[in-house]
Amino acid sequence: MKKNFIFLSGLIFILFIVGCGNPPQPYSKNIENNYPNISLKEKQKILNFLVTLNTIPPFYTKNDGCIYFNDAWYNFEYRNKFRNCFIIKNNKIIRVDKSKCSDDYGRHFSSYCTYIGGRSDKYSSFINKIQQHLYLDFIEQLKSYSIFKKICTRMNKEREKKFKQIKMHILDTTKLLPSNVINNIKAEFYLPKISCVKEYLNTLTLRILNKNKERLPICLIIDNPYHIDRYLVYLSKERVCKFYQNFPNLYKMFVKSVKFNFLPNKFIAKNKDIKVIVDNNEKQLTIYNDSDQFIEVNSIVLYYGNVVSSRIFPFNRDSTHLKLKIPPKSFISKKIGFPRIKFIELKTKEQMHQYGVSISYKKFNENIMRTLFKVKNFSIEDFKN
């Protein structure tokens, strides 16, 4: 009877263990060859890729070397959040359990998980299955990538050498730019850096999909716009990619559009009472009182093309009802912030643009409101030295 009891107790214990499931088997593998031409970051990316390649639903990964599984849904959140990560440390591949699990329906999480049977047991078995071949797959890819990287490094040097030989030829199809402006366009173009490990993994993916991958290209990224004198020049914004042996030494780039700054450096308006100087370089407006009486300025308006604005002072929302009092034979100066847009798109070389100022004021002990008003149409010719 006693023996039967012991046997039954042992059987129940075994069934209990089987029913509870087990965590994944411990994992630690030495990388025998150090592969000095492959960085730790590159090795980890290759390992992450292999983990991603082998992960299937309902388990998932974030291309970070980790395999995730959310075990139970309760109260709008997962109760058990399993996460096992394969990382390279001290020239070893190890697996780190970063799971967060709860035994009280998601209220409190801990880093300890019991892997209690059912779906979590399938998760544990899935990781064990990956661990059976992960190391051999990884070593195979390291050997292959070590050869690939040597070729990639050589090709990168050839690309950079070719890139330095490329000259940019600017073609003005708009017919709006003078030759001196075209000659001064120092078009900046960039050669994006190539990540050998990224190219390798892309190639590996395409090989799995039975597709071909082109060799490393030269890709020019054209920068925009170019500010030369009063011109703002926009080239055809594009990204050009060709294999470097076929990339021309002289590359043609077209002018797409041109803008021009019609703001005069200084604009002067005056009458017998006052003189106004608008300095757009210094962003300053000065009003001189040339009369022998106090003058009170009530409003100031600036004109630029079809834009009319009284909001010219940065610290005043409106320049109407200013009531600036200027003593006789003196002046005041104020900083201005108008206009916000100074470059106007050019359509023709003869294009003109209006600029001007108006000021309303009155003299001391007078109820007559007087106005100083002046506008002028500016053309490109007005700005030639």
- 65 conformational bin, left if phi > 0, alpha if psi -120 to 50, beta if neither: left
One-letter amino acid of 32: E
Query: Helices 196-208 & 40-54, crossing angle to 10 degrees?
Result: 20
The answer to whether position 130 is within a domain reads yes
Co-location of 41 and 74 in the same domain? yes
Reference 123, options 77, 75, 76, 78; nearest CA is: 78
The answer to whether position 121 is within a domain reads yes
Residues of the chain under the 50 pLDDT cut: 1-20, 209-212
Residue 315 has φ and ψ, to the nearest 5°, of: -105, 10
Count: domains in the chain: 3
pTM of the full predicted structure? 0.66
Per-residue pLDDT at 20 = 44
Which DSSP state fits 352? Answer: E
The answer to whether position 125 is within a domain reads yes
Per-residue pLDDT at 96 = 95
Compute the distance between CA of residue 229 and CA of residue 181 in angstroms, rounded to an integer: 8
Per-residue pLDDT at 3 = 43
Query: Helices 118-165 & 196-208, crossing angle to 10 degrees?
Result: 120
Domain boundary at 244, 261, 278, which?
A: 261
Domain boundary at 261, 288, 316, which?
A: 261
| Cα 224 versus chain centre, distance | 15
Per-residue pLDDT at 223 = 79
| Cα 120 versus chain centre, distance | 40
Domain that holds residue 35: 16-146
Residues in contact with 296: Cβ distance below 8 Å, sequence separation at least 6, in sequence order: 323, 324, 325, 326, 361, 362, 363, 364
Co-location of 270 and 231 in the same domain? no
The answer to whether position 181 is within a domain reads yes
Question: Alpha helix locations (H) across the chain?
Answer: 2-20, 40-54, 118-165, 179-183, 196-208
The answer to whether position 120 is within a domain reads yes
